[in-house]
């Protein structure tokens, strides 16, 4: 007998609601806000004078993704994020596919930002960047940088097992300091160092080829990946349906502003070749070139780059562990993964397993010519694949579940009747889907590693899914019976969203009366 979903959500040991409003914002900022520290050098090296345009285009797509996630996370405030939305709207198989793509994203998140964090540490140890050993056909490998990255991953694994409140506190303190620092760099940079003539000259004379521009734009999307962290922490956030819309919209505005401002300032401050030569610590290089502020800002930016990237990697550990925890609860993965630590109330098994995969990805990336570029390739593929499925799930959920209260709804909707119910279809969602699909096309076209390793990961994961479901005699292509209405009521009640719970009950009552009238008429 298959247990309904509501039973799965009422285990004796649950995730603890320890995340505050500021903590929710900082989970997102820790992941998304830190991305510019890594992406700035990679994108400018690829897109050259068109880097600000690459960031702006990717940023517009990010805004649409952010609006979709804001609606879905506020409507369905449970762990799982995009995987849960796909499961709820499209069924078990697509829920698993979305989950596997996002899991890849988070595993790479752990590896990429731990590596980038260590790179900023090496701003103070220039010799560490040059300390390489030859491993035959693999070329030169920087063992010190790789070891630094692995030590950071081990530390974050321990931190996350100890509890989300401790992990969240790290984000809150360091994130607040970073926002102040980034704002100072932007203000001082434009006031004392920005050269409009250099900006125009690089746009006009250093404009990339179409291939380079697409490659740069596909990398720029990594500056905006991570908003899902807020939805992953929903089940541990206090009053999530109320908090999530506020924190998500604030995060969208903050990150878009910083990404466009830094890329514009960078091209108007230094030749793009300087960023290419300092790809491991681009923000520190830029800050160091600002008059008056540079003597302090360069080292300070390196310190903050190391710390903010560390909490971004920390956000990856949190997100992938909650994602796998959610998938195991819905029998998309073995139940072994849904164990919660009896003392710390954290999904410790998923934290250990997926942090280990992040460490493995780190080691493998250092065996390639550029570890950062290799990891960025994979990061972009996982994110865009997952986002496409989430947009499709958003459309279907608008049609099949008009009853769940939506504290926030994407603007610009077309109203019509579907199966006797008034529904609204999001126009901006279509634009978002087209935008994300375009980015995925660029990734597939320009990223040699991403277009091979990304699909290979999903195919491998699907093989595991079919083997697991087959061994348990569960539907391979079909769905398990789930009482979504009971589950939604249980989630809203547990989250103390009592007003939304009453709205939902009234909507279900109206649905029941409508069904009765239709039955009587028949």
Please compute, for residue 435, the number of CA atoms within 13 A of its CA located in the half-sphere on the CB side.
22
Decide if 356 is inside a domain: yes
What's the rounded mean pLDDT across residues 491-496?
A: 85
Look up the pTM and report it: 0.84
Q: Does any domain span residue 495?
A: no
489 belongs to a structural domain: no
Q: Does some domain include residue 314? A: yes
Residue with the bigger pLDDT between 35 and 455: it is 455
Give whichever of 217-226, 280-289, 473-482 has the largest mean pLDDT. Answer: 473-482
Q: Is residue 253 part of a domain?
A: yes
Residue 16's pLDDT band (cuts 50, 70, 90): low
Q: Is the pLDDT of residue 9 over 50?
A: no
Which of 67-71, 126-130, 386-390, 409-413 is predicted with the least confidence, judged by mean pLDDT? 126-130
Classify residue 507 as exposed, middle or buried by CB count within 10 Å of its CB (0-12, 13-18, 19+).
middle
Q: 7-11, 24-28, 232-236, 249-253 — which is least confidently predicted? A: 7-11
Looking at the domain assignment, is residue 507 inside a domain?
Answer: no
Question: What per-residue confidence (pLDDT) applies to 64?
Answer: 93
Closest by CA position to 411, among listed 129, 71, 141: 71
Helix, strand, coil fractions of the chain, as percent rounded to 5: 75, 5, 20
Closest CA to 27 of 185, 189, 243: 243
- The span from the CA of 463 to the CA of 278, in Å, is 41
Domain that residue 356 falls in: 19-453
pLDDT at 499 over 60: yes
Closest CA to 407 of 249, 241, 248, 228: 241
Query: Does the residue 365 lie in any domain?
Result: yes
- Are 391 and 433 contacting, i.e. CB atoms less than 8 angstroms apart? yes
pLDDT tens digit sequence for 54-74: 999 999 998 999 899 999 988
**Which residues have C-beta within 8 Å of that of residue 164, sequence separation ≥ 6?**
15, 16, 18, 19, 233, 236, 318, 346
Please determine, for residue 1, whether its predicted confidence score (pLDDT) is greater than 50. Answer: no
**Closest to 429 (Cα-Cα) out of 404, 406, 407, 412:** 412
Do 284 and 295 contact (CB within 8 A), yes or no?
no
Percent of the chain at pLDDT exceeding 70: 89
Q: Is the pLDDT of residue 207 over 90?
A: yes
| pLDDT winner (highest mean) among 46-60, 226-240, 279-293, 328-342 | 46-60
- In this predicted structure, the answer to whether residue 263 has a pLDDT above a threshold of 80 is yes
> Total domain count for the chain?
1
Give the pLDDT band of residue 148 (cuts 50, 70, 90). Answer: very high
Per-residue pLDDT band for 168 (boundaries 50, 70, 90) equals: low
Q: Are 332 and 96 within 8 A, CB to CB?
A: yes
For 352, the token pair is 């250990």
Q: pLDDT per residue over 472-492, tens digit each?
A: 999 999 999 999 999 999 988
Q: Look at 312 and 507; give whichever has higher pLDDT.
A: 507
Q: Is pLDDT of 230 > 80?
A: no
Q: Which CA distances in Å does 234 have to 60, 150, 304, 399, 491?
A: 25, 29, 27, 24, 11
- 396 CB contacts (<8 Å, ≥6 apart)? 89, 90
Which DSSP helix (H) or strand (E) runs through 210?
helix 210-220
Mean pLDDT score, 159-178: 72
Ranking 245-254, 348-357, 466-475 by mean pLDDT, the lowest is 245-254
**CATH number, position 142:** 1.20.1740.10
Mean pLDDT of 184-198: 92
| 163 band by pLDDT with thresholds 50, 70 and 90 | low
Question: What SS3 class is residue 251?
Answer: helix
> 411 or 133: whose pLDDT is higher?
411
pLDDT band at 137 (very low <50, low <70, confident <90, very high): low
Does a structural domain hold residue 317? yes
């Amino acid at each position: 007998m298959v247990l309904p979903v509501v039973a799965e959500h009422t285990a004796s040991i649950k995730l603890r609601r320890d995340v505050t409003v500021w903590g929710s914002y900082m989970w997102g900022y820790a992941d998304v806000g830190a991305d510019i520290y890594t992406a700035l050098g990679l994108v400018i090296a690829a897109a050259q004078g068109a880097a600000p345009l690459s960031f702006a285009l990717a940023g517009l797509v990010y805004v649409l993704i952010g609006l979709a996630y804001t609606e879905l996370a506020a409507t369905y405030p449970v762990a799982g994020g995009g995987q849960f939305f796909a499961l709820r709207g499209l069924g078990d198989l697509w829920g698993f596919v979305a989950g596997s793509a996002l899991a890849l994203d988070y595993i790479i998140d752990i590896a990429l930002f731990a590596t980038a964090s260590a790179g900023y540490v090496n701003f103070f140890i220039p010799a560490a960047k040059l300390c390489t050993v030859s491993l035959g056909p693999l070329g030169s490998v920087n063992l010190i940088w790789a070891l630094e990255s692995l030590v950071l991953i081990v530390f974050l694994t321990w931190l996350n097992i100890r509890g989300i409140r401790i992990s969240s506190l790290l984000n809150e303190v360091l994130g607040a300091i970073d926002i102040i620092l980034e704002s100072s760099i932007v203000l001082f940079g434009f006031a004392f160092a920005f050269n409009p003539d250099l900006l125009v000259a690089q746009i006009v004379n250093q404009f990339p080829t179409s291939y380079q521009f697409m490659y740069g734009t596909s990398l720029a999307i990594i500056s905006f990946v991570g908003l899902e962290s807020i939805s992953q922490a929903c089940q541990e956030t206090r009053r999530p349906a109320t908090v999530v819309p506020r924190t998500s919209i604030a995060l969208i505005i903050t990150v878009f502003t910083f990404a466009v401002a830094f890329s514009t300032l960078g091209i108007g401050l230094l030749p793009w070749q300087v960023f290419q030569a300092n790809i491991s610590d681009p923000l520190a290089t830029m800050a160091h070139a600002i008059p008056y502020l540079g003597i302090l800002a360069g080292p300070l930016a390196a310190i903050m780059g190391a710390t903010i990237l560390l909490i971004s990697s920390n956000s990856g550990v949190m997100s992938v562990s909650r994602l796998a925890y959610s998938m195991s609860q819905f029998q998309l993965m073995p139940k072994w993964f849904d164990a919660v630590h009896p003392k710390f109330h954290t999904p410790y098994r998923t934290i250990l397993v997926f942090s280990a995969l992040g460490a493995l990805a780190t080691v493998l990336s250092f065996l390639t010519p550029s570890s950062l570029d290799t990891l960025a390739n994979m990061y972009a593929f996982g994110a865009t694949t997952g986002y496409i499925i989430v947009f499709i799930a958003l459309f279907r959920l608008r049609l099949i579940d008009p009853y769940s209260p939506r504290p926030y709804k994407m603007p610009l909707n077309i109203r019509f009747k579907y199966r006797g119910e008034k529904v609204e279809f999001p126009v901006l969602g279509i634009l978002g889907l087209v935008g994300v699909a375009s980015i995925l096309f660029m990734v597939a076209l320009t990223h040699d590693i991403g277009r091979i390793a990304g699909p290979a990961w999903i195919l491998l994961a699907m093989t595991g899914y079919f083997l697991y479901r087959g061994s348990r005699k569960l539907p391979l292509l079909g769905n398990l019976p789930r009482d979504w209405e009971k589950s939604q009521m249980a989630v809203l009640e547990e989250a103390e969203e009592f007003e939304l719970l009453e709205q939902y009950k009234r909507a279900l009552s109206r649905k029941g009366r409508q069904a009765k009238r239709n039955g009587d008429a028949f």
